[in-house]
Amino acid sequence: MTTAIYPGSFDPITNGHLDIVKRASSIFDKVVIGIYDIPDKSLLFTVDERVDLARKAVETLKNVEVIAYSGITVGFAQKIKADVLVRGLRASSDFEREFEMALMNKKLAPDIELVCFMANLKYQFLSSSLLKEIIKLGGNLDDMVPIHVCIALKKKLLP
Ligand code: ADP
């Protein structure tokens, strides 16, 4: 039984994240989406809102669970007995930061293996922060987020 944790801030969850979740859930027995409660960046959604949006997005995936966590990611991974840490890599923007974090995580928790999925070509440009800009400017988020996430973004960002 291999358990994978996919950690992040998910502010909010996007179709890019969901693409990684689906691919991971077809390889690993169980995937836990770990929602980091207070990352060192400004957030639009509370941790409870981010958890609810993610749960609704994965409700049809039976081996996927969503759990909020505090503190260091590998500590949470050890607590839930995860074997694998999953991350998604978009072209150019993610590699250096992920590489640095991976080396630190390996030092802190040598037994947890990192598996990086290359972001799907159609979601390479997609980030939670870009989505917020698009919504504010009145753009269309079709095929970027599930419909309930689009509604939640509009509620938060539009007058
Ligand atoms: P963090 O704050 O840890 O970067 P994010 O919620 O931004 O958390 O992202 C979580 C993970 O999902 C990271 O590994 C990130 O690189 C990956 N990711 C973000 N957007 C995409 C996307 N469009 N396609 C694939 N992976 C993505």
Tens place of pLDDT for every residue, the chain, 159 residues?
999 999 999 999 999 999 999 999 999 999 999 999 987 888 999 999 999 999 999 999 999 999 999 999 999 999 999 999 999 999 877 888 899 999 999 999 999 999 999 999 999 989 988 999 999 898 989 899 999 999 999 999 988
Whether pTM > 0.85 for this model: the answer is yes
For a mutational test of ligand 1's pocket, the pick from 58, 94, 117, i.e. the residue with the most ligand atoms closer than 8 A to its C-beta, is: 94
CA angle 18, 22, 24 (to 5 degrees): 115
Amino acid 100: pLDDT: 92
Amino acid 29: pLDDT: 98
Amino acid 93: pLDDT: 72
Residue nearest to atom 24 of ligand 1 (CA): 16
Which domains, and CATH codes, for the chain?
Answer: 3-157 (3.40.50.620)
Amino acid 126: pLDDT: 92
Residue nearest to atom 5 of ligand 1 (CA): 8
Active site residue 41: yes
Give the residues across from 30 on adjacent strands: 3
Q: Which two tokens stand for residue 74?
A: 């590998």
3-state secondary structure at position 43: coil
Alpha carbon distance 52, 67 (integer Å): 10
**Which residues approach ligand 1 with their CB closer than 6 A?**
8-10, 14, 16-17, 20, 39, 87-88, 90, 94, 119, 123, 126-128
Judge contact between 5 and 84, C-beta under 8 A: yes
